[in-house]
Amino acid sequence: MGIVFAGSTCEILAREVAEDLNYELGKLIIRRFPDGELYLRILSEVEGKKCVVIQSISKPQDSNFFELLALQDTLRDMGAKEIVTVVPYYGYGRQDKRFKEGECLSAKMIAEHIQLRSNKFYTINIHEEKILDFFEIPAKNLEAAPLLGDYFKTYELNSPVVLAPDEGAITLAEGVSKVINCDFDYLEKKRLAPGKVEIRPKKLDVKNREIIIVDDMIDSGGTMIEAIRMIKQQGAKNIFVACVHPVLTGNVITQLFTYALDVVATNTIPSQISFITVSPLISHALK
């Protein structure tokens, strides 16, 4: 039997995974000193045991990343036999290459530090799969598309279409559509004239159809909101929005609900729209 330790970003998710696997839920104390420094103490007996650490590198990214490293390091010092690190949301994943000379390759730096204290690594819908190449330990990206598909499969949808807001998310849209057994497409921009851009599906007509727009993450939501507006203008009946990682900066949720009938996300990052748990995905991988 193993022990699952919850970082402060994934307390409920870690509890679900522990229950799924019939693992012990690790006992620990995490708090902050008045000056903001982290205090962490592991109360469970871990020597010679398999330990699973679940922690997303979500906002505040820096302190949550440091908390992850502190958990790993303490488990190693206490004699854990194996440390499996699960980072449902891989913060800094968008900084996977240098766009300008001298920029920090943050995605690579994160990987190098995680693997120093870990035997295996799992994440979910990482921004770029090539980030896993930075790891020298076994590392795997888990796909949440089937979970999004299962959620919408319970809806009684009329001629649904799953859309990606751009070509980069087409694989996710295809994965969701396979579960629902419906069409999928992606949105592309066409410049009609100086200052005038049209956004429409690459192949399909959306008139009188119900649309599910999916993306790996929603941050400020600008791209998603623009896509919804355009799809509505083209005669879509109802629009639903789903993402894997609800980063959600500003008042994006209020804006999305102005245009969409439903907005949903997984709990890789806890939020007010995190109605889909990724615990089955993680549990299956750990088995």
Whole-number Å distance between alpha carbons of 132 and 49: 26
Whole-number Å distance between alpha carbons of 229 and 199: 9
CATH code for position 217: 3.40.50.2020
Q: Is residue 210 part of a domain?
A: yes
Pair (155, 139) in one structural domain: no
Domain count for the chain: 2
pLDDT, residue 189, reads 65
Pair (156, 57) in one structural domain: no
Pair (87, 122) in one structural domain: yes
**Cβ(263)–Cβ(238) below 8 Å:** no
- Residue range(s) defining the domain that contains residue 226: 145-267
pLDDT, residue 77, reads 98
Pair (155, 102) in one structural domain: no
Pair (76, 162) in one structural domain: no
Pair (133, 193) in one structural domain: no
pLDDT, residue 254, reads 92
| Whole-Å CA distances, 144 to 65, 124, 237, 277 | 22, 7, 26, 10
pLDDT digits (tens, 9 = 90+) for 256-272: 999 899 999 999 999 99
pLDDT, residue 194, reads 54
Pair (94, 197) in one structural domain: no
Pair (70, 102) in one structural domain: yes
Q: Is residue 33 part of a domain?
A: yes
Low-confidence ranges of the chain (pLDDT < 70): 189-203
Q: Is residue 272 part of a domain?
A: no
- Sheet containing strand 161-164, edge to edge, reads 196-201, 183-193, 161-164, 211-218, 239-246, 262-266, 274-276
Residues contacting 61, CB < 8 A, separation 6+: 91, 92
pLDDT, residue 249, reads 92
Q: Is residue 90 part of a domain?
A: yes
Q: Which amino acid is at 125?
A: N
pLDDT, residue 233, reads 87
Give the global pTM. Answer: 0.94
| Whole-Å CA distances, 228 to 7, 128, 155, 220, 282 | 35, 25, 20, 14, 31
Q: Which of 97, 130, 189, 202 is catalytic?
A: 189
Pair (137, 149) in one structural domain: no
Nearest residue to 131 via CA among 140, 119, 120, 144: 140
Nearest residue to 93 via CA among 129, 45, 136: 129
Pair (134, 196) in one structural domain: no
Q: Is residue 31 part of a domain?
A: yes
Query: Residue holding tokens 């890789």?
Result: 268
Residues contacting 238, CB < 8 A, separation 6+: 210, 211, 261
Residue 188 structure tokens: 């592309």
Pair (135, 160) in one structural domain: no
pLDDT, residue 199, reads 65
189 is catalytic: yes
pLDDT, residue 200, reads 63
Q: Is residue 273 part of a domain?
A: no
Pair (15, 90) in one structural domain: yes
3-state secondary structure of 145: helix
